[in-house]
Amino acid sequence: MRKVSETEGNLTNLTTVRSAALSCIHCGQCRVPHWPAKGIYYVCPVYKTEYTAKFEPFFARGKNIILKGLIWGDLSLNKEISEIFYQCTLCGGCEDFCHNAHNENIEFANHKWMSMVEVFEALRADLVEAGFALESHAAMNKAMVELLNPYMQDNKNKANWISQLNFKIKDANSENAEILYFVGCTAALTPQIQTVAIATAKIFNKLGVDFSVFGANEICCGSVAMRTGDRKAFNEVADKNAKLFAERGIKKIVTSCAGCYRTLKKDYGKRLEGIEILHTVEFLEKYFEDSNIALNKLDKIVTYHDPCHLGRHIGLYDAPRNIMKKIVTLVEMKTNREGALCCGAGGGVKKGFPNLALEISKNRIKEAEETGTKTLVSTCPFCFRNLSDGIKALGGDIEMVDLVELILKALT
Amino acid sequence: MPQLQNVVEQIENVVGTKYVTDSEPICYSYSMNCDSVLQGIPDIVVRPGTASEVSEILKIANKEKIKVIPRGGGADLTGGAKPIGNGGIVIDMTRMNKILDIDEANRIVTVETGISWSELCEKLSRVGIGYYTGSTGPASGFSATVGGGLSNNSLGGGGAAMYGTVTEQCVGLEVVLPTGEIIYTGAKANAFCEKPFTRFGLGADYSGLFLGDVGIHGIKTKASLKMYAIPEYAAYSTFEINGTKQESEAVIATKVMTKWQHKELPLHDFYYYTKTYINMLTLFGVKKNLANAGVKGGVLFYTTVADSQRALDYNVERIEKVTKEAGLRKLGPSVEEGNLGKWFYEEDGRWQWANIYWGLLGPEGTSLGTCLKCPTYQLPDYVKLYQEFANKHTKTMLDIGGGGVNFIVIGIHPCYIDITGGIMLHTDKRYREKQYEIWKELLIAQIKELGAVHYWMGEIIGRSLVDAGALTPEYYNFMISIKKALDPNKILCPGKFYLGDQY
């Protein structure tokens, strides 16, 4: 790796989280902690692979020292810093383990100074504004704004999965419903993952839930732009969505995508004030509790992957497990819940560094295989996609499913 | 630095292009340890995979007259794992992290020195009957490596009251000398010895030459350590200590700890948290359990282990006879009732405890380490010294965004203690000189007034020792002679011991 020429850039976004950015004390415990009592055997999914040379910046401490260098004026934004900071899935593993961050796990209630995800995202925003966005990300975010999805597809394709249903669902563009089912771009536009959307719709239909979808008019939630630092692009789609939801009088949104869920729930802020945001598993857990609906116990032993955006970013660990307890036998992986290994797709890594995403995914699949189960369950289409790639790359026979697919079977 | 590009290329030929870099941000990320006061930015960072590669890198450094700084987990507090001044090559040892041999017959584990203490102990726990290294590294053992712990003569990760420092667990090393030769110390110095089993023999204790040396004598690439069966039974209790007019809290704590040590009671660990420290923990809500338990004074906790319940009960009876005689209030058995011993042994992981210091000062806070070893009876004198220092410097520290000074006591086998503490300050770069000055003043006061032994030998400790005049001319010259013989081109860790301007 060689030095590259420096270019000055502003730190407008990083400055807003200056204290957090300076709060790392470099203890380095985010490198390779092994803490069986807490189920922690790794922190950084990137560092766990051999994709990088594992120099300091390829786990949180080194990045935090670079942040200090930037804030203190010792370093300037440049392409190389961009390459370093984008080789991070923003999974929050480091943040969840850090004693100077939000960490209820180790009871340091007052130590909420650090926030790696927030700080790294702020730096990414500065990098984008300084012209150091990754080319692949720039193209993706441009497509997201122009086509309303980051997959560079005609947004009409988002309605394709609906034609596979044998019942009619309400069109949110013109019909009112109690719930808006926000499908998300990955489930709507990836043929092999449309099963998530189809299963969700079938469950709602079976349960008699009054729901609607925007179909071809569904606008990307903006997660990819937010995570990769393109705040202008994010604001553009977020504002469009907020306007659309307001116009259509949406009061409750349910999504089966952990990424959309995190974005709508946390990143939209006041835009969605008054609208309840739920993940499907959260909605269904309560629904099953309240309705006493009988669920069949399937003859299936499964293991579960906690999506970072559902788990560490929001804290939703029990809802999927509570449902699984009713319908399958769950065997936990070595790392789970707060300590769960990331799938490798998030933070723009799948787009920017596909081979790194694949290596992380393979590590997660190996953990799944260690459980001896043949079915890997998740609750995020993007995790589904990357973990499926990992299964394929390893040539394993483990089956990848979304929890909604199992729920549908348990309802049949 | 001479012909940087040329040096990079030479090292690339040894380790491959992937594992060497002169990238500015990457080199910058190797410029600090846990403190951000001491900083030195290297020109090159390399992550070798074998002792032979380390050897070749050192040969290049000798040829090109470039300084080299080995680095483990980078978790030390006194500038041990970063360059003094800018420039040089940092050798990041963390790629060499394999467990090479687990010899259950001799109870010895041999590892590459870049493995972390927590990874090593976790993996040992799953072998055979389940093992650990007894004294389990520094309190930073989640991050710190075996090599770093041995170079810093560390302790604090638990087990020190029973097993002493980590260096006492070492039975042999593989070392790359500054000039590139690879040697073995301990039993393996005999080329016909199959497995390492003892540190002594075959001449003087040459392992000792590289233990606590902060890497100035050679780069440790392999280490053989004693390992012990994980105890089947463990017990732990916590006591409140309140001083009286006749006896201060520190005096009472000293008496109890001394009795424990002199009676050779089977303590696995014992820790003493001062009243001031406890007040901080409860004030900031870090240890709500202590506040709920109504703790107002200092706290003393112990852990003991045994191979049967009967033996454990007997241990507890003997240990607690001493605390009962001293009139200490025993807190409840659960963590919620204030039992820090249970928290430490069962939940905390035995490495994380020190980190409750960090962040007490708020965002951007740091601690400038002043940890030392001393005879147990000296504890009250250190309390006085810290109080005097605080009285003198509180205003200055507040002016530069600081907090205060404090410490925790760790029991060490057989009868001394570690006063592990530091000065809490904000990492405000504008005040680095003042921070350094205050830090050094406390270290020198500890050295001169009480004969402190600072077992971490990083940049600031070496300078404090020399500037305090603590090293006799004969000892100082002896150290220089050894260094000169081993490192004629002065390339390995120059300045770490402050052996004159050249070493």
DSSP single-letter state for residue B298: E
DSSP string over B87-124: -SEEEEGGG---EEEEETTTTEEEEETTSBHHHHHHHH
Cβ neighbours of A105 in B, within 8 Å: none
CB B339 within 8 A of CB B332: yes
Q: How far is CA B103 from CA A242, A326, A355, B31, B150, in A?
A: 64, 46, 39, 38, 20
- For an interface test with A, which of B24, B97, B347, B361 has the most A Cβ atoms less than 10 Å from its Cβ? B24
Fold of B357-467: Alpha-Beta Plaits (3.30.70)
Residues A310, A314, A319, A324, CA torsion sign = positive
Chain centre to alpha carbon of residue B54? 24
Q: Indicate yes or no: CB of A66 within 8 angstroms of CB of B28.
A: yes
Q: Indicate yes or no: CB of A31 within 8 angstroms of CB of B73.
A: yes
Nearest residue to A193 (alpha-carbon basis) of A330, A387, A346: A387
Q: Indicate yes or no: CB of B21 within 8 angstroms of CB of A26.
A: no
What is the pLDDT tens value at each position of chain B, 503 positions in all?
Answer: 558 999 999 999 999 999 999 999 999 999 999 888 999 999 999 999 999 999 999 999 999 999 999 999 999 999 999 999 999 999 999 999 999 999 999 999 999 999 999 999 999 999 999 999 999 999 999 999 999 999 999 999 999 999 999 999 999 999 999 999 999 999 999 999 999 999 998 999 999 999 999 999 999 999 999 999 999 999 999 999 999 999 999 999 999 999 999 999 999 999 999 999 898 888 777 788 898 899 999 999 999 999 999 999 999 999 999 999 999 999 999 999 999 999 999 988 888 787 776 777 777 888 899 999 999 999 999 999 999 999 999 888 888 877 788 899 999 999 999 999 999 888 888 889 999 999 999 999 999 999 999 988 888 998 999 999 999 999 999 999 999 999 999 999 998 887 776 67
List B20's β-bridge partners, or say none. B46
Both A92 and A200 in a single domain? no
CATH of B4-93, picked from 3.40.50.720, 3.40.1440.10, 3.30.1330.60, 3.30.43.10, is: 3.30.43.10
Nearest to B363 among A32, A80, A113 (CB): A113
At A198 the pLDDT is 98
**Binning pLDDT at 50, 70 and 90, where does residue A8 land?**
very low
Task: Answer left, alpha or beta for residue B186, where phi above 0 means left and psi between -120 and 50 means alpha.
Answer: left
Q: Indicate yes or no: CB of B21 within 8 angstroms of CB of A6.
A: no
Q: Indicate yes or no: CB of A35 within 8 angstroms of CB of B22.
A: no
Q: CA of A54 to nearest chain B CA: how many angstroms apart?
A: 8
Q: Indicate yes or no: CB of A25 within 8 angstroms of CB of B288.
A: no
Cβ neighbours of B123 in A, within 8 Å: 34
Checking ipTM against 0.90, whether it exceeds it is yes
Both A274 and A319 in a single domain? no
Cβ neighbours of B344 in A, within 8 Å: none
Range of the domain at A316: 288-411
Cis omega (within 30 of 0) for bond into B414:
yes
Dihedral through CA A236, CA A92, CA B140, CA A356, nearest 10?
A: -90
At A1 the pLDDT is 38
B339 sits in which H/E element: none
Both A281 and A159 in a single domain? yes
Both A329 and A225 in a single domain? no
Q: What is the CATH number of the domain that holds A303?
A: 3.40.50.1860
In a domain, A215, yes or no: yes
- Per-residue burial over B462-498, b = 16 or more CB atoms within 10 Å of its CB, e = otherwise: bbbbeebebbeeeebeebeeebeebbeebbbbbbbbb
Whether A4 has a pLDDT exceeding 50, the answer reads no
Query: Residue written as tokens 């790696």?
Result: A116
Q: CA of B24 to nearest chain A CA: how many angstroms apart?
A: 6
At A105 the pLDDT is 47
Both A60 and A110 in a single domain? yes
Q: CA of A96 to nearest chain B CA: how many angstroms apart?
A: 14
Nearest residue to A257 (alpha-carbon basis) of A286, A228, A220, A215: A220
Both A105 and A163 in a single domain? no
Both A210 and A297 in a single domain? no
How much is the average pLDDT of A138-151? 98
How many beta-carbon contacts under 8 Å exist across A and B? 171
Cα separation of B28 and B49, whole Å? 22
Judging by beta carbons within 10 Å of its beta carbon (0-12, 13-18, 19+), is residue B2 exposed, middle or buried?
exposed
Q: Are strands A301-304 and A276-279 parallel, antiparallel or unpaired?
A: unpaired
CB B253 within 8 A of CB B379: yes
Fold of B233-355: Alpha-Beta Plaits (3.30.70)
- For an interface test with A, which of B18, B23, B77 has the most A Cβ atoms less than 10 Å from its Cβ? B23
Cα separation of A317 and B283, whole Å? 32
Nearest to A34 among B21, B119, B346 (CB): B119
Both A156 and A266 in a single domain? yes
Both A43 and A156 in a single domain? no
Query: Residue written as tokens 């420096």?
Result: A6
How much is the average pLDDT of A175-186? 98
- Per-residue burial over B230-258, b = 16 or more CB atoms within 10 Å of its CB, e = otherwise: ebeebbbbbbbbeeeeebbbbbbbbbbbb
Is CATH 3.30.465.10 the classification given to domain B96-229? yes
Q: CA of B120 to nearest chain A CA: how many angstroms apart?
A: 9
Cβ neighbours of A106 in B, within 8 Å: 348, 352
Cβ neighbours of A108 in B, within 8 Å: 286, 355-356, 359
In a domain, A142, yes or no: no
**Binning pLDDT at 50, 70 and 90, where does residue A9 land?**
low
At B1 the pLDDT is 53
Q: Indicate yes or no: CB of B356 within 8 angstroms of CB of A2.
A: no
Question: Tens of pLDDT along A301-356?
Answer: 999 999 999 999 999 999 999 999 999 999 999 999 999 999 999 999 999 999 99
Question: Tens of pLDDT along A93-109?
Answer: 999 888 888 654 445 55
Q: For chain A, how many structural domains are there in total?
A: 3
At A327 the pLDDT is 98
Both A207 and A101 in a single domain? no
Residue ranges of domains in chain B: 4-93, 96-229, 233-355, 357-467, 471-503
Q: Indicate yes or no: CB of B95 within 8 angstroms of CB of A113.
A: no
Cα–Cα–Cα angle for A80, B45, B490, rounded to 5 degrees: 150
In a domain, A239, yes or no: yes
Both A384 and A306 in a single domain? yes
Q: Indicate yes or no: CB of A34 within 8 angstroms of CB of B118.
A: yes
Cβ neighbours of B33 in A, within 8 Å: 26
At A6 the pLDDT is 41
Both A159 and A282 in a single domain? yes
Cα separation of B339 and B240, whole Å? 10
